[in-house]
C-alpha cells in the first residue's frame, strides 16, 4: 500500500439519469485533475427520484450505471466506487447495489445493501426502502488492492450497524467506504459522529461520498461528504454544495494509529 489521494464526491442527483451521469463525470474529472487515484460516488448517484419511477426505469438505470463506472475507470485510469444504484431482481424489486471498479474497467467487488431504511423520521417524512428494494443477504466484501490497501464496502444506513465494520476490519480493511444519501434531518445530528465512530473503533480511514440538497418533492439530503483518518480526524468535508472532498490515505499514519491504539488486537469477542 502506498500513499495516495482519495476523493469523496458530493452530488445533488435528480430523477434524470443522463443529467446525473453528466454531473458525475464532471466531478470525477475534477477529482482526477486534483490528483485522486481512488474516487467514490454517493448512493443513488445515477438516479434519485420517486420509488415508482426508479422501479419503472431500473433496468436502464442499472445497465447505464455499470457501463458508466467501467468507462470512467478506464478513461481516467483510477479505481471508482459507485455507491449505490438499482439492479432489478425477482419479484419486481431491485437490489441497492454498490460496485467497485479498477482502472482496467473490471469489476472487483459488488455489495447488495443489507440494511434497508424503513424509518419514520421526526421531521414527518416516512421512508420505506423495503417497499421497492430487496435486502442483500451477504456480508459486504473487501477488495485487496496492491496499491490502495484493503477496501471495505458498505452503503448509507449500514453506518448505524457497527458489526458490519467489525466484519470488514476483521477481514483486514484499511479503508471503509460509506456512500450515502443521508436525510437532512438525521444528518445534522448523526452523520459526522457515526462516521468518526466507525473510523475510530476500527482504526481505519473512512471515505463517505454523499448526496446534498433538494432532489425531488420533500426529499432533502445532508451533504458533508467526508474523509476521516483512523484517529477520527476529519481530513476533508465537502460542505453542503456539490463538489469533491479530497485527502491523503497514508499507510504510515494508519500504522502509527494502530500502534498507539492497538484496540483491534485487544478484541475479546469476535
Q: Residue 182 corresponds to which cell in the numbers above?
A: 443521508
Q: Which of 37, 43, 64, 66 is catalytic?
A: 43
- Per annotation, catalytic residue among 54, 113, 134, 192: 113
113 among known catalytic residues: yes
Cα(20)–Cα(175) distance, integer angstroms: 26
Specify the DSSP class assigned to residue 148. T
45 SS3 class: coil
Query: How far is CA 158 from each of CA 4, 107, 163, 176, 210, rounded to the nearest angstrom?
Result: 26, 22, 9, 11, 14
CA distance linking residue 59 with residue 28, whole number of Å: 24
Identify the H or E element spanning 145: strand 142-145
For residue 156, indicate whether it is catalytic: yes
Q: Which helix (H) or strand (E) holds 66?
A: helix 58-76
- CA 248 to chain CA centroid, nearest Å: 17
Annotated catalytic residue 51 = no
DSSP secondary structure of 81-130: EEEEEEEE-GGG-EEEEEEEE-TTS-EEEEEE--S--EEE-TTS-EEEGG
Q: How many C-beta atoms surround the C-beta of residue 256 within 10 A?
A: 13
Which of these is catalytic: 64, 156, 192, 204? 156
Residues annotated as catalytic are 43, 113, 156
Amino acid at each position: 500500500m502506498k500513499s495516495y489521494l482519495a476523493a469523496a464526491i458530493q452530488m445533488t442527483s435528480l430523477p434524470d439519469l443522463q443529467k446525473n451521469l453528466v454531473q458525475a463525470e464532471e466531478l470525477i474529472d475534477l477529482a482526477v485533475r486534483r490528483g485522486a487515484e481512488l474516487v467514490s460516488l454517493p448512493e443513488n448517484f445515477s438516479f434519485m427520484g420517486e420509488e415508482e419511477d426508479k422501479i419503472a426505469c431500473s433496468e436502464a438505470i442499472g445497465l447505464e450505471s455499470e457501463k458508466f463506472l467501467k468507462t470512467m475507470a478506464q478513461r481516467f485510469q483510477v479505481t471508482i466506487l459507485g455507491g449505490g444504484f438499482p439492479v432489478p431482481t425477482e419479484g419486481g424489486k431491485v437490489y441497492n447495489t454498490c460496485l467497485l471498479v479498477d482502472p482496467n474497467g473490471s469489476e472487483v467487488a459488488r455489495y447488495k445493501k443489507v440494511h434497508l431504511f424503513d424509518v419514520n423520521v421526526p421531521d414527518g417524512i416516512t421512508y420505506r426502502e423495503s417497499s421497492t428494494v430487496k435486502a442483500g443477504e451477504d456480508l459486504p466484501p473487501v477488495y485487496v488492492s496492491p496499491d490502495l490497501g484493503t477496501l471495505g464496502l458498505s452503503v448509507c444506513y449500514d453506518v448505524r450497524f457497527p458489526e458490519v465494520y467489525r466484519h470488514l476490519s476483521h477481514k483486514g480493511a484499511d479503508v471503509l467506504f460509506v456512500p450515502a444519501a443521508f436525510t437532512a434531518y438525521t444528518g445534522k445530528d448523526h452523520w459526522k459522529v457515526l462516521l468518526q465512530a466507525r473510523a475510530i473503533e476500527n482504526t481505519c480511514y473512512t471515505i463517505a461520498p454523499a448526496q446534498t440538497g433538494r432532489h425531488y418533492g420533500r426529499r432533502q439530503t445532508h451533504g458533508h461528504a467526508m474523509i476521516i483518518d483512523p484517529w477520527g480526524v476529519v481530513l476533508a468535508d465537502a460542505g453542503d454544495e456539490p463538489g469533491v472532498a479530497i485527502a491523503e490515505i497514508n499507510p504510515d499514519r494508519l500504522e502509527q494509529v494502530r500502534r498507539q491504539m492497538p484496540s483491534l488486537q485487544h478484541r475479546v469477542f469476535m
